[in-house]
Structure 1
Amino acid sequence: MRHHGDAEVGGGLADFAVNVRAGMPPAWLAERLRETVADLAAYPDPGPARQAVARRHGRAVDEVLLTAGAAEAFVLLARVLEPRRAVVVHPQFTEPEAALRAAGHEVGRAVLGKDFTLDPAAVPDGADLVMIGNPTNPTSVLHPSGAIAALARPGRTVVVDEAFMDCVPGEPESLAARLPSGVVVIRSLTKTWGLAGLRAGYVLADPHLIARLAEAQPLWAVSTPALVAVEACSSPAAVVEAGAWAVELSAERDRLAGELTARGLYVVPEPRASFLCLRVPDGLGIRALLRQRGYAVRRGDTFPGLGPDWLRLAVRGRSANDALLEVLSDLGI
C-alpha cells in the first residue's frame, strides 16, 4: 500500500514512473518561490491563499482548508471521520486506504470491473464513507461527475480525489464548483506545477467539516512557500496556463496510447490524466528489462484490482515518449 512511483526512480533512470509534470515549475513560479525566502522568519499566513482557492472554484472561504498536499488531507479525514463502513473504490491511489487503516478503521474495497468505469452498484448501500479518484490513478479513467454525485446520500460522505483533474481541459467532470451535499473534494497542485517537494493541496467541503479538519491539523502545517504557490497557481492567469498545458498533454497522451495500442497492448480506454495504464505479458519482467535499458515505469501490482501484468506510464514530451517506444520495440513489444 505504501509503494509509490518515487520508489521506482533514481540512478539516472528516465522517469516514466512518477506522475508529476517534468520540467516544472515554470520560471515565473520559481521566481515567486525564491522571493519567499525573505519572509521565512514570519509564521505562515494562509489567508490570501485560502481566498485565492475560494475564488478559483467559486466557493466560500470557510469551505476551503489548505493542506500539505493531498496526502495530509487523507490523514486528516481519517482522523476526524468515524465511519462504520468505509469503502474505497479501486483501483486507485492507495494512500486514502492506508490513511484509514492507520487511523484504526476497517476498510472495504469496491473493485471495478472491465475498463474500470464507475458502477454505482459496486458500492455497498451500507457504506457511510466512500473514497474515489477522478480522474483515477492509476487507470486514467475520468468518471462522470453525475455518477459520483449520485453516490451521495444522507449519512454518507463521498471523498473525491481530484488531484489530476487539471489534466482535463475545462475540467467538465469536476465537483469542486458544485460541491453537492456530503461530497468532499481534494485537490493537489503538485502534479501540474511540478511541486511534489513543496507539498501543496487543499480540501473543499462544507464549513462544519472544514472546521473539524482544521482542529485536527497541526498549526502552520502549510509552509509560506507552499502558500505562495497555492495563491499563484489559483490565479486566473495560472488557470489559463494550466488549461493550455492540458490541451497539449491530451494530444500527446492520445498519440502515445495509439502507438501502444497498435502494438497489440491493452491500454485502458479513454485515458484523461497524465499517465496511461496498460496490460502487458509479464509486466514485472518488462519493467525489469526497461530498468536495464535506463527507463523507470510504475509497477501495477501494488494497486488493488490490478496484477503483475499491469504497468503505469507517465506521459512525457514527444521526444521522450518516442525514445521509450523505440526501447519497447527493441524488446519486441
Structure 2
Amino acid sequence: MYTHADPHDLRHHGDAEVRDIAAHMTDLAVNVRTDTPPEWLRERIAASLMTLAAYPDGRSARAAVAARHGLPVERVLLTSGAAEAFVLLARALKVRHPLVVHPQFTEPEAALRDAGHTVRRLVLREEDGFRLDPSAVPESADLVMIGNPTNPTSVLHPAADIASLARPGRLVVVDEAFMDAVPEEYETLAGRTDVPGLVVLRSLTKTWGLAGLRVGYVLAPAEVIAELERAQPLWPVSTPALIAAEVCMSPAALKEAEQAAGLIAVERAHLLAGLAEFDEVRVVANAEASFVLAHVRRGAEVRERLRSLGFAVRRGDTFPGLGPSWLRIAVRDRVTTNRFLQALDQSLTMVGC
C-alpha cells in the first residue's frame, strides 16, 4: 500500500508512454533493443509451439543458464520475467528491514509494499553522480535492492562496492536486467559464489526483444532458490520462454549479445555528444546502459512537445529522487538519434527555453 504523501507512481513503466500511440511515433521510452527478436530466435520459439500439448519442462533451460554462469543448477531459478522474481522475493523471504536504492526501477519497491513490508529508501544524489556510497546503507537493512547498471540513471556501480554490502543475515539483491548491454559485463556479479547473501536477477527482455514472452532468472544461494521455488506456482515459465532462455545461453547468442553491446556503446556516445550541444540539457555522466538520463529545462513541457513531433521519451518523475524535468532517452541508431535531436531542438524553442 502506498501513502498519499508519496508522489511517485511506482506502477508507471515505459510502455505506458507508447501505449495506444499513432503508428508514426518513434519509441525512445522503452529500452528493448530494436529489430528484435532476431530471426533465428523467432524460428526457435515458433518451432516450440508444436510441443504445447506437453507441460513445460525447465530442466534444459535451467542447466543452460547454470552453465553460462558457471553455477550448479541448484543456484538457478527460471522466472516469468524479472518482475515475477521481485514478487517472489517480497513474498517468500522473511525480511524485516528492506531497503531500496533509488532512483531505480520501481517494481521491486512496489512488490515489497504489496507484500506488506515497510520499505526504507536510500536516494542517491545527482551531485554524487547517482553513485552508491556503501557506507550510506544502514546496518539494520536485512535486504538491499539495487540496479546495476541502474535504470533510469544508466550508472554502472563497481561490483566491489555492491559486494561490500554483504553482511551476515542480509540479502543483497542486484537487478542486472541491463548488464548484457555492457560490453564484457565487466561489473557483473552473476556467477559469484563468494559474496554471502548475494541474489542476482537477469532478464532476456532487453537485448533479445522478449518483453511479451516473459522470461528471466534468479542466481542465488541454493537455500534462497529453494524458498523462492516453493512460492512459485506450478509451471511458471511457458515452453516457448524456456526454449528462448536455453538458446540465448548458447555461445553464438552470447557473441551476438556482446556485439550488440558494443554497438550500443557507439550509438550512446553519439547521443550523448548531441545532447551536450544543448545548454538546456544536463546529462548524467558516464552512462553505461542502453539509455541515458537527462535533466531538461522545463522537461515536462518538452516531453509533450516531443510527443507532438512524433517522439516518446520516458518521464522521470515516477522515480523516487527525480522530478518532472528528468527524461530517460533510449539509445537508438544514428539516423533515429539525429531525428530526435532535431525534434528536441524544435521542442526547446517551442517552449521558450
Per-residue Cα deviation, 1:255-289 (whole angstroms, up to 9, x for no partner): 11111012222111110100000000111111111
| Structural mapping, 1:1-333, within 5 Å | 1-9=10-18, 10-12=21-23, 13-113=25-125, 114=127, 115-179=129-193, 180-264=195-279, 265-332=281-348
TM-score of the superposed pair, with normalisation by structure 1: 0.99
Looking at structure 1, the residues matched to 111 and 306 of structure 2 have their Cα atoms a distance apart, in angstroms, of: 32
Number of residue equivalences: 333
Which segment is superposed worse, 114-123 or 138-147? 114-123
Which segment is superposed worse, 112-121 or 274-283? 112-121
1:31 partner letter? E
Looking at structure 1, the residues matched to 338 and 251 of structure 2 have their Cα atoms a distance apart, in angstroms, of: 34
Looking at structure 1, the residues matched to 229 and 109 of structure 2 have their Cα atoms a distance apart, in angstroms, of: 21
Tell me the secondary structure at the aligned position of residue 149 of structure 2.
coil
Tell me the secondary structure at the aligned position of residue 52 of structure 1.
helix
Aligned to 2:6: none
Contact 1:268 1:278 in 2 (8 A): yes
TM-score of the superposed pair, with normalisation by structure 2: 0.93
1:272 partner letter? E
Looking at structure 1, the residues matched to 137 and 348 of structure 2 have their Cα atoms a distance apart, in angstroms, of: 40
Per-residue Cα deviation, 1:176-216 (whole angstroms, up to 9, x for no partner): 02142111000000000000000010000001110111110
Per-residue Cα deviation, 1:92-132 (whole angstroms, up to 9, x for no partner): 00000000000000000000112101111221111011000
Looking at structure 1, the residues matched to 52 and 348 of structure 2 have their Cα atoms a distance apart, in angstroms, of: 53
Q: Runs (4+) of structure 1 moved beyond 4 Å?
A: none
Looking at structure 1, the residues matched to 185 and 219 of structure 2 have their Cα atoms a distance apart, in angstroms, of: 16
Deviation at 1:83, TM superposition (A): 1.5
Deviation at 1:21, TM superposition (A): 0.8
Contact 1:112 1:122 in 2 (8 A): no
1:161 partner letter? D
Q: Considering only aligned residues, what root-mean-square deviation do their CA atoms show, in Å?
A: 0.9
Looking at structure 2, the residues matched to 270 and 290 of structure 1 have their Cα atoms a distance apart, in angstroms, of: 25
What runs of 5+ residues in structure 1 fail to find an aligned partner?
A: none
